[in-house]
Chains A and B, each alone.
Chain A
Amino acid sequence: MLQGTLDMLVLKTLVMGPAHGHTIAHAIEQGSEDVLQIEHGSLYPALHRLEDRGWIASFWGTSENNRKAKYYRLTPTGRKQLATQTARWEQVVRAIGRILKPATE
């Protein structure tokens, strides 16, 4: 997976509300209809990096099935970051789309 896209997906998942690592991993996998297969372990360095940048914040809580789990939530900066990244992503996608389209027509 492209560097940076995982960050964006994590942020996107957290828009719905705070979640712990396990939920985030499954949400990304299921949300993409299993197109994006990620090794769940690689999620944690990404979470760490995002937290380090101040885009997400963490707290310890209890999971649905009563396990101790670390929850992440989006910070205001993270929300802004998601918006700009999404916009840029859409730009790139549109640009690539425009380049690819004429060939298929």
Chain B
Amino acid sequence: MGWFRFFRRSHWDRERAAELESYLQIETDDNIARGMSHDEARRAAHLKLGNTLRIREEIHRMNTISVLDSLGRDLRYAVRGMRRNPTFTLAVVLTMALGLGANTAIFAVVDGVLIKPLAYPDAGELVSLNHTAPGIQVDAFQMSPTQYFSYRDEGRVFQQIGIWGDGGTTITGGGDPEQARMLAVSSGVLEALGIQPALGRIFSESDTTAAASNPMEVGGSAVILTYGYWQRRFGGDPSVIGRRITTDSRPAEIVGVMPESFRFLDIRPQPEVILPIRLNRAGLVIAGFGVRGLARLKPGVTVADANADITRILPIWLNAWPIPPGTVGRQAIENWRITPTLQPLKEFVIGGVGEMLWVLTGTLGIVLLIACANVANLMLVRSDGRRHEFAVRMALGAGRKQIARAVLIEGLVLALTGGALGVVLAQAGLKLLVAIAPDTLPRLNDIALDPRVVAFAIVISIVSSLLFCAIPVFKLAMRRESPISATARGASASRERQRTRSTLVVVQVALALVLLVSSGLMIRTFQALLNVDPGVTDAATLQTARVWIPPQQVREDERFTRMQHEILDKIAALPGVRAAAFASAVPMEPNRVALSAIFVDGQTYAPGTTPPGRRMKFVSPGYFGAIGTRLIAGRDITWNDIDRRIRVAVISENFAREVWGSAAAALGQRIRAPAPGTAPPVWREIIGVAQDVHEDALHHPAPTMVYFPVLMDNFGGQALTGTRAINLVIRSDQAGTESLLNTVRNEVWSVNSNMPVFLVRTMKDLYDDSMARTSFAMVMLVIAGAMALGLGLIGIYGVMSYVVSRRAREIGLRLALGAEPAALKRMFVRHGLVLTGLGIAIGLVAALGLTRLMSSLLFGTGPLDPATYIAVLFVLTLAAVLASYVPARRAAMVNPMTTLAED
């Protein structure tokens, strides 16, 4: 009612004015009836009523005071109280700022990464066309262009659909040959994403159509530039539209420029140019699984509907496309059991990072709870100190409600001040976070301290203030004592409050234990990762650089392999280079590794079945020595093998054990990749077995591998197969330095000046990337754990100090009666330890349950790792002893005379 009147004060004022006027009229009428003249009657009426303006003012004030004024009074009172107790205020504001700031920052991350839709119109309709092939145990089975056509023609659920891939393209002419990051898209991809170019147009139907003689081709017709590349290479010149540039030695017309805000999903690095995937359905054959797909679903269609639709289309597709003789058969493809596993595009972009972020969010939520418990304690201490004041206010007529409101408003002011400071901290924290967050954390660009985040900060500030005010207010409401007796010192009441405060400490210790255990487990995970033998030694001194020889430059496989050999010899001869080699891919480049069924000589396969897929790499002699992979048995591939086309292979130890039982037993055995049907099988002898290499990430098991020479005859139906795109591996102390890179580049260019050198990284960078998520989660959890420990310590310290000050008289008496100071100290430390012990007991139960939630983040350690638990118990107990020892020592130093003389 009060608020209602407050906001309608002017209405009420008009109403009163009318009412008073009505009085005057009636009284005037009466007076006239008594025989007065009109003027006289009016004057007498005024006299009788009194000053109307004053009456209206009084009523206006009544409406104002009852609400805003009391609010203003409480606010002023709160601020005055805060200023009068700077230590209390500072402690509360800082504690809340830490807790709120951390939570605001993590909310900004969660909001940006997990909650906000992708930056495309109606992004909820976008899906990634993922498939699996359980028949050959492949989780991420890529699409064939023929699937794209079948889905597009037969599908009932898609608005637009397209396929894409990414890689590099060599842009030549004008300056150094440049390798630009390239995105290749079929017609339908940019349309599905709903992107309008900043300049020009997107690809037309003719841009994306190929000749039947070459049914799938990337580029060669048109190119779209991204904003950044357009600025860098062309200075943002709008007349580039229509100009021709050379991509992979073929001319392409610049048809458009993407807007500055354009990002393609979250691929890293982002593309610089976009080339069309040109297709001609007349010439396509069924296989060629090497592209990804995305689509926009029709409104209202679910992912399950779309999966069902594709499941319906797949058999149609299987029978619709030609299968050239000698390639994998229709029955074999059917046995792969290709299954659609569509995913909202956002989930595809986010990947598995959601789990880690939710764990971090939960963790920081716990930190906030601990902070609230601490502040609740401080509020209790303070409201204790104000009992006299409250009693006086109640005696003067203030109700419990008003006092409770004053406490709540004080809490609110404190929390909001803390929240404001927290937002500032969050801003700084976010900058730090984005800086230390792994590059592999998706959607970093979408993380911002926007109004949503600020609104969140305000809401959690208010909720926290309610949390930490709840206990003092509740105590206030429960207080049954009369205002007068409250002013006298009561021991029983203080004992009761002591219990509340001890409960809070127990809760804090329990929560801190949970956090310490989680951060401990992350540290153990990190340790375990460091202990993994990656199969590569001393990654920091291993330089990698990618070199690609365009077919337009050198066509024959034998010639470019000779060229690669020449480059390798020049680099190996450089001063400071201890070893050098090259391979189709280095470890930590899982998407460059080919996968193929590998037949083993002597094993029989049922018709229509294929042996399990193995990873394949094509390596130069010396590759294992250069990266530090030990040969367990046999020998390395040599140039002699390559030059004389001796059919050899090296396999990984786990492959050897799986098939032959041991590394030594595999030597001399023969394997082969699938070959065109009619050709006689070409077996290759296993001449070496290499140590297992963690190819994908340290925390992923090492896959089984087959290493073939970089040049082979009769492989995959071709007379001669070379490896056009290679990764140089150079062992040198100067790895990662610009001078090494420059000399390497010059050596490459001295062989052919049109060959780009790109993706130069040290092996350590690649491994760091692979560990980045773990180390990020670890750093964050350790920070949270440290905050929890610190806050918990302050909690124990605060309570013990309070106990000591409360019992100062008792202590004084005991000392006066001859108690040993040491025994007193022990008594208080024991008290602190009892509280800690209780907290630990509760915390252990909670930790056993909660750490299961983070098991997906762990590696090499279980959620019940005993070492972690023991270390945490030790740290917590030690901290508790310290936190209670300091106040205990103060107790023992109490001067009996002064404490007894008090009061």
Contacts and interface: CB of A to CB of B under 8 A. Distances in A.
Contacts of A102: none
B48 interface: yes
A41 B1 contact: no
At the interface, is chain B mostly helix, strand, loop or mixed? helix
Contacts of A70: 15, 18-19, 22
Contact of A41 (B15, B25, B55, B62): B55
A52 B16 CA distance: 14
Nearest to A29: B48
B48 A40 contact: yes
A68 B51 contact: no
Given A45-B62, A52-B62, A70-B22, A65 B29 contact: yes
B22 A67 contact: yes
B16 A63 contact: no
B50 A40 contact: yes
B33 to A, nearest CB: 8
Contacts of B48: 40
B59 interface: yes
A20 B22 contact: yes
A105 interface: no
B291 interface: no
Contacts of B58: 45
A89 interface: no
A44 B13 CA distance: 12
A25 B29 CA distance: 16
A67 B55 contact: no
A6 interface: no
A40 B471 CA distance: 49
Nearest to A20: B22
A22 B19 CA distance: 10
Interface in A66-86: 67-70
Contacts of B12: 48
B49 interface: yes
Interface string B1-35: 11001000000100110111011011101000000
B49 A40 contact: yes
Interface in A3-62: 20-22, 25, 39-42, 44-45, 48-49, 52, 54
A40 B20 CA distance: 10
A8 B51 CA distance: 24
A44 B54 contact: no
B327 interface: no
B37 interface: no
A52 B26 contact: no
Contacts of B494: none
B326 to A, nearest CB: 95
Contacts of A65: 26, 29
20 contacts: A20-B23, A20-B26, A22-B22, A22-B23, A22-B27, A40-B49, A40-B50, A42-B50, A44-B19, A44-B20, A44-B55, A45-B55, A48-B59, A48-B62, A52-B2, A54-B1, A63-B26, A65-B26, A67-B29, A68-B18
Interface of A: 20-22, 25, 39-42, 44-45, 48-49, 52, 54, 63, 65, 67-70
Given A20-B26, A67-B29, 18 more contacts: A20-B23, A21-B22, A22-B27, A40-B48, A40-B49, A41-B50, A41-B51, A42-B55, A44-B19, A45-B55, A48-B62, A49-B62, A63-B22, A69-B19, A69-B23, A70-B18, A70-B19, A70-B22
